Structure 1
């Protein structure tokens, strides 16, 4: 599975290995680079209520969110709905760009 939930005792995180996702082609066609920073921006734009309580520690090849298990489970469900759907990612990118949101990729 591309999305992984981690439990390190007192710290919980969700990671997503990027660069080999079904949605990567759509990201590239929209002029962005599918890296951890892009996905962090997508999460912050598409699901601000989910993103708000989380901390992020993304890298070029990996998206990483840190938080409590219930928030991370919500994020996992949301991400699963788009990482395999180029159309869903295109829709989010278009809405973000229309609103003036800038991805940091």
Structure 2
């Protein structure tokens, strides 16, 4: 699984190694780079209630969120349903673009 939960010295984080995901084609077809910054934007748009209490430390090759175990567990469940579904990603991107949301990828 490309989504991993970590605990380093009491700090909880979730990482997603990007690239090679089933949803990458949908991201690229929409004119975006399937990098960590894109996925951060997708999380912020699609699940604002989950994203709000989290801190993010994404980079080109990895999405990273830092927060409590319970918040990260919710995020993990949400992401698992999307990273394997190009159709779900297309839907989120379309809703984001319609609302005027801009991805920072």
> In structure 1, how many angstroms separate the alpha carbons of the residues matched to 2:31 and 2:8?
36
1:79 matched to which residue of 2?
79
> In structure 2, how many angstroms separate the alpha carbons of the residues matched to 1:20 and 1:60?
13
Q: Secondary structure at the match of 2:4?
A: strand
Q: Please report the TM-score for the alignment, with normalisation by the length of structure 1.
A: 0.99
Q: Please report the TM-score for the alignment, with normalisation by the length of structure 2.
A: 0.99
CA RMSD of aligned residues (A): 0.4
Gaps of 5+ in 2: none
1:67 matched to which residue of 2?
67
Gaps of 5+ in 1: none
Superposed CA offset, 1:62-103 (max 9, x none):
000000000000000000010000000000000000000000
- Matched residues, number: 105
Superposed CA offset, 1:15-45 (max 9, x none):
0000110000000000000000000000000
